Amino acid sequence: MSKIFLIPGLGADTRVYNNIDLSGHDVVCVDWIEPDKTDTLATYAQKLICQYNITPKSIVIGNSLGGMLAVEIAKMIPLEKTILISSIKTVDEAPGYFKLLRAMPFHKPIPGKAFTKMEFLIKPFFGQMNEADNWLFRDMLKNTSPVFLKWAMDAVLKWDNKIIPPNVIQITGDKDLVFNYKKIRDAIIVKGGTHIMIFEKAKEVNKILKRILKK
């Protein structure tokens, strides 16, 4: 049985997968490690491969930022499947505001610690949450390393990947305000799915994952 590695998104940890049912599989949760200032998403992905012993024929599931890192991992080692949830596989699928933020990097002067307290700015992009999920979202953001958070924002904006590795499968929502599904090609679309459909549409996502993992 192939190991399944779960990589969370920006400002989150592996609790983001709490509603995802992978029972019966050998699952490894990937926690963030502190990056070096010079790390790119590619060099950071290499560190995750070494840290977690991600081997060929593994399955990697990545949510949001985790999906971008999953793509970088798949470029380095042949994976059985690379599954992206609410993420993008190339820079061509990135939203237009990425270019704006690269040109005017407003986030750079802001201390990393401040980002962990700015859920009021981030939350509107993520969609509606119930009380329990809202608490979890705030707790994950609050407990994210400020160093990692600030590095990751910059690394995401500088990501310029144009290579689609083999065996990449993409699941995205048609109400995602972070990554517009209309810019994404060949994805499985979840109707009504927002950027946090891994929470709010977990039932639908679980059905899709079950089909993918059976193949």
Contact (Cβ atoms closer than 8 angstroms) between residue 148 and residue 156: no
* Per-residue pLDDT band at 140 (split at 50, 70, 90): confident
Classify residue 61 by burial, with Cβ atoms within 10 Å: 0-12, 13-18, 19+.
buried
Contact (Cβ atoms closer than 8 angstroms) between residue 93 and residue 183: yes
Domain 3-214: which topology? Rossmann fold (3.40.50)
pLDDT at position 120: 43
Cα–Cα distances in angstroms (integers) from residue 132 to residues 85, 138, 142, 200, in the given order: 21, 10, 15, 11
Instruction: Give the pLDDT confidence of 54-74 residue by residue, as tens digits.
Output: 999 999 999 999 999 999 999
Percentage of the chain with pLDDT > 90?
A: 63
Q: 206: part of which helix (H) or strand (E)?
A: helix 202-214
Higher pLDDT pick, 174 / 10: 174
Instruction: Give the pLDDT confidence of 29-57 residue by residue, as tens digits.
Output: 999 999 999 999 999 999 999 999 999 99
Instruction: Give the pLDDT confidence of 155-203 residue by residue, as tens digits.
Output: 998 999 999 999 999 999 999 988 999 999 999 999 999 888 998 899 9
pLDDT at position 138: 73
